[in-house]
Structure 1
Amino acid sequence: MKVRLVLGCLAGLASVPASALDLKQAWELLQLQGPTYRSAVHERDAGLENRALGRAGLLPQLNASASKNRISGTQEQTNGFGQTGSSDLDYDSQNLAVQLRQPLFNRQKFAEYRQGKQRADYSAAIFDAKSQEVAVRLASRYFDVLLTRETIELANAKLKAFEQQVAAAQRRFELGDGTITDIDQSTARRDLALVDVIEAQDNLVVALRLLQEMLGVAPQHVATLLPRFATQVLYPDNLQDWLSKAQANNPGLRAQQFSQGVAQEEVKRARAGHWPTLDLVLGYTDSESDSLSTINQQNRYASAGVEFNMPLFAGGAVSAKVRQAIASREQAGEEVNATREEVFSATTREFRGIQSGQARINALQKAVVSTERAQDSAQKGFRAGSSTNLDILNAEEQAFIARRDLLEAKLRYLLAHLQLAAAVGLLGDDDIRLANAHLGPELGLNY
C-alpha cells in the first residue's frame, strides 16, 4: 500500500505544472509523510494488537526454568551412642523444569478475550475518525491559503484603485475643480487599503506555515480556484437521511460504542473474580542433587493433571471492583449518548451550511455584479455632478468586499461538503476529488 501511495503521489505531481499543489496531491502527501496522520497510523497499529493480547490468555502458556548451584556447608549427625559427628557438604545441584498450562475454564480470560476484540475495533474506529478529521483540517488550511492569497490580490487592486483616486483628486484640486476634502477622503482610504495589504500578507505567511505543519513540507505554489463554480446537488436532500447515516457510520460514535462494550466486558471480568478456574497442567522435571535428601540422585519425571482454584474471600475487593466496573459502564453509556447528540448537531450544522451556502453564493454573485455596476454608476455620476468623491470611494469599497465575500463563500461551501461527509463517517478520496475539481492547474503566486 505504501508503494502504491508513493507512486500515485509522484504520478499526480507529474501531471501538473512544476511545484503546483492541489488539494488531492496535498492529501496524498499528507498520507505519505504528514506527521499527524502518520502518528494516527502508528496509534492504530498499536491498538490492533489488543486482539492478539486478548486471545493470548486463552492459549497455552509454556514456561521453562533452569538452575545450577554450588552447595558448600557442613552436616552434623548424632550416632546411636549419642556422639555427634560432622561432615562437609560440597556438591553441585541443578534443576530443569518445563510446564505447560492450558486454561479450561476461566471466565476472566474469556472476558479479556472479548475486551481485546473491542479495543482493537475501538482503535480502528478512532483512526477512521482522526483520518477524516485530518482531511477536513487539511482542506480548511489549504482553503485558508487560497483565501489569503486572493485577499492579497484584491487588497493590492483596491490599493491601486485608491491611489488612482488620490491622484485624480489632487489633479482636480490643482485645476480648481475639487476640494481638499476629496483629497483627504481618498488618502484615508488609500492608507487603510495599505493596512489591509500588510495584514493580508501576514495572514498568508501564517496560513502557509499551518499548511506546512500538516504536510511536513512548505508548498511554493498552490492551485487556483476556477472562476466557473458550479454548486453540487446534495443527495439525499433531507436531513433525516443524513442523521441516519451519521448514527450508522460516524467513527467517533462507533468508537464510543466499542468503549462501552469494553466497559461491559469489564463488569463480567470483575464478576469472574467470584468464579473458580480450571487449568490443564503438563510438566517435566530433570534434577540432580536437588535437595539434601536427593544428594547424588538424578530424577526425571513428567506430570499431567488438572488444577482447580476456588476463590473464597478477598476482603471485599471483588465486590468493590464489580461496583466500580458498573459505574464505569454507566459512564460509557452516557458518553455514547453525548457523542450521538454532538454528531447529530454537527450533521445538522453542515447540512444547513451546504443549503444556505448555495443561496449565499448565488446572492453574492449577484452582489458582485450589482456593486460593480454601482461602482461604474458612481464614476459616471461624479463626472455628471450628481455623485461625490465619497460615493466613488464607498462604491469601490463595496465592490472589493463583495468579491472577497464571494470567494470566501465558495471555499466555505466546499469545506461544508467535506465536513458533512466527515460527520456521517463517509469522507473519502472521492470527496477530496470532488472538491479538487473546482481547482485549476495554473500556478498561484510565488511565495
Structure 2
Amino acid sequence: MRALGLTALCLACVLPTARALDLHEAWERIQSQGPIYLSALHERDAARENLPIGRAGLLPQVNLNAYQSRINGTQRQPDVFGNSHDVDLNYTAKNAVVQARQPLFDKAKLAAYRQGRLQAQMGDAVFDAKTQDVAVQLAGRYFDVLLAEQTIELSEAKLRAFEEQVISTTRRFQLGDGTVTDVDLSTARRDLARAELIEARDNLLVARRLLEEYIGETPSSVATLREDFPTPPMHPETLAEWQALARRDNPNIIARRYGVGVAEQEVAKARAGHWPTLDLVAGYTAADSESLSTIDQRNRYSSIGVELSVPLYAGGGTSARVRQTSASQEQAEEDLNATRESVLSKTTREFQGVQEGAARVRALEVAVKSNGKAVESSKKSFRYGSSTNTDILDSEQQLYSARRDLFEAKLRYLLARLSLVAQAGALGQDDIDQVNGYLGPEMRF
C-alpha cells in the first residue's frame, strides 16, 4: 500500500495539471472545429467564387461539338429515261466543330461581372459580421457556464447556512428559548434552497451543452473570474464617436451597402435586355460525309466573323424584369437604412451597458460587504434577543443574492464591452485577450 501511495504521489508530481479552458483557447477551438464558425467560413469561400464566375462571361468561350453517325437507307433517283431506281445509302457521317466566342459588346455580361465582384466583397463583409457575432455569442455562452457554476456554489453555501440555522433554531426550541415558528421558517428556507440548488445544477448542464455546440467539444473545466475587477474607460469615450465608427465600419452595414450595389447591377442586367449584343466568333470544322450532298467528301474549313443579335420584342418580359429588379433595389436600400438604425440602437445600448455596468459593479461590491456585515449583526442581535430568526434568514438571503448579482454584473460588463467593439466592426483577437485577462486559473466542474 505504501508503494502504491508513493507511486501515485510521483505520478502526480510528474503529470501536468489539467489546465482550465479560458476564453482565448475557446476562441481558438471554435476557429478550428466550431461548426457555426466553419459554416460561415465556407459561406465566405463560396461567395468569393462569384468574382471569377462573373469575369468568365467577359472571357472567350470555347466549345467542341462532334458526332459520328451510321446512315443506312435508300435514295430513289430517276435515270435519263425517266425511270426511278433505288440506290442504297450506307455510309458513316462525321463532324467536329471547334468554336470560340468572344463578347465585344454585351451590357448584361459586363453588369454580371460587376455584380460578381460586389457579391464577393459582400461575402467578406458577411463573414466579418458573423465572425464578430460568433465571438460575442461564444463569450455569452462561456459566461453562462461561469454564472451557472457560481450559482451552484452560492446555492450550496446558502443551503449550508440555512441547515445550520435549522439546527440552531431546533436546539433553542428544545432548550425552551425558541419557538416552533422559528424552526418552521428555517426549515422552509432550507427546503427552498435545496430546490434552487437542483435548478442551478440543471442550468449548468444546459449551459455546458450550449457551449459545446459552439466550440465542438465539452470542456472538463473552465477558468472563472479573478477577484480583482478593474473597469477602465472605453476608447473612444463618447457615444457619438462610437456611433460614427459603427456607421463607417460595422460589417452588417457594409454588407448591406454591397447588397444595394448588387441590386443595382441586377437592374443593369435587366435593362441590358433592350440592348444588342456583338460577339466575335471563330471556328474550325472537320466533316466527312456530313450530309447527302457531301457523301464521300472530306471538308476542312475555318471561319471568323462577328455576330450581331438585336432584341426586337420579348412579349413585355424585359420591361417587367426591369420593374421587378428596380423594386428589389429599393428594398435593398430600405434594408440598409433599417440595418443602420438597428446598429446605432445596439451601439447606444452596449455603450450604456458598459458605462452603467461599471457603476453597477462598484455598487454591488459595496452591497456585498454591507450585506455581509448585516448577517453578522443579525446573528449577534438574535443571540441577545433584539432581532428575530426571520431577520437572520432574510439577511443571509440578501447576501447570497447580492453576491450572485455582483458576479452576473461583472459578466454583463465584459460582454457589453465585447458587443460595443463588435458594433463598431473592430472586434478582434486583442479584444478577446483583453477580456480573457479577467479570467483566472481556477478549475471548474
1:246 is aligned to 246
Question: CA, structure 1 residues 17+138, in 2 after alignment: closer, same or farther (shift >3 Å)?
Answer: farther
Partners of 2:413 and 2:200 in 1: CA distance? 22
> What's the secondary structure of 2:311's corresponding residue?
coil
Q: CA deviation at 1:261?
A: 0.6
1:388 is aligned to 388
Is 1:224–2:247 an aligned residue pair?
A: no
CA contact (8 A) 2:19 2:441 kept: no
1:407 is aligned to 407
Cα deviation, 1:241-283, whole Å, max 9, x if unaligned, reads 1111111111111111111111101111111111111111110
Partners of 2:391 and 2:172 in 1: CA distance? 16
Partners of 1:164 and 1:25 in 2: CA distance? 41
Is 1:198–2:198 an aligned residue pair?
A: yes
Partners of 1:240 and 1:262 in 2: CA distance? 30
Cα deviation, 1:408-432, whole Å, max 9, x if unaligned, reads 0000000001111111111111111
> What's the secondary structure of 1:414's corresponding residue?
helix
Partners of 1:241 and 1:99 in 2: CA distance? 59
Cα deviation, 1:13-52, whole Å, max 9, x if unaligned, reads xxx9424100110010010000111111111111110001
Is 1:143–2:149 an aligned residue pair?
A: no
> What's the secondary structure of 2:444's corresponding residue?
coil
Partners of 1:114 and 1:383 in 2: CA distance? 83
CA contact (8 A) 1:17 1:443 kept: no
- Residue type of the alignment partner of 1:198: I
1:34 is aligned to 34
Cα deviation, 1:346-385, whole Å, max 9, x if unaligned, reads 1000000000001100110010011011111111111222
- Residue type of the alignment partner of 1:111: A
2:11 is aligned to none
CA contact (8 A) 2:24 2:436 kept: yes
Partners of 2:30 and 2:360 in 1: CA distance? 31
CA contact (8 A) 1:44 1:127 kept: yes
1:434 is aligned to 434
- Residue type of the alignment partner of 1:411: L
- Residue type of the alignment partner of 2:244: S
1:56 is aligned to 56
- Following superposition of structure 1 onto structure 2, how do residues 98-177 of structure 1 map, counting pairs within 5 Å? 98-177=98-177
Q: CA deviation at 1:80?
A: 2.8
CA contact (8 A) 1:271 1:322 kept: yes
- Residue type of the alignment partner of 1:254: I
Partners of 1:398 and 1:81 in 2: CA distance? 124
- Residue type of the alignment partner of 1:421: V
- Residue type of the alignment partner of 1:251: P
Cα deviation, 1:323-362, whole Å, max 9, x if unaligned, reads 1111111111000000000000110000000000011001
Q: Tell me how large the CA RMSD over aligned residues is.
A: 0.9
Instruction: Structure 1: give runs of 5+ residues left out of the alignment.
Output: 1-15
> What's the secondary structure of 2:32's corresponding residue?
helix
Partners of 1:109 and 1:157 in 2: CA distance? 71
> What's the secondary structure of 2:91's corresponding residue?
strand
Instruction: Structure 2: give runs of 5+ residues left out of the alignment.
Output: 1-15
CA contact (8 A) 2:73 2:88 kept: yes
Partners of 2:180 and 2:130 in 1: CA distance? 60
CA contact (8 A) 1:50 1:116 kept: yes
Partners of 1:423 and 1:117 in 2: CA distance? 25
Cα deviation, 1:278-321, whole Å, max 9, x if unaligned, reads 11111000101001111111000011111111111111111111
Q: CA deviation at 1:209?
A: 0.7
1:78 is aligned to 78
> What's the secondary structure of 1:368's corresponding residue?
helix
1:8 is aligned to none
Cα deviation, 1:369-405, whole Å, max 9, x if unaligned, reads 1101111111111122211111111111111100000
Q: CA deviation at 1:202?
A: 0.5
CA contact (8 A) 1:19 1:220 kept: no
- Following superposition of structure 1 onto structure 2, how do residues 299-378 of structure 1 map, counting pairs within 5 Å? 299-378=299-378
CA contact (8 A) 1:19 1:219 kept: no
- Residue type of the alignment partner of 1:127: F
Partners of 1:318 and 1:142 in 2: CA distance? 53
Partners of 1:428 and 1:303 in 2: CA distance? 58
Partners of 1:421 and 1:362 in 2: CA distance? 22
Q: CA deviation at 1:232?
A: 2.4
CA contact (8 A) 2:74 2:89 kept: yes
Count the aligned residue pairs: 430
Partners of 2:420 and 2:304 in 1: CA distance? 62
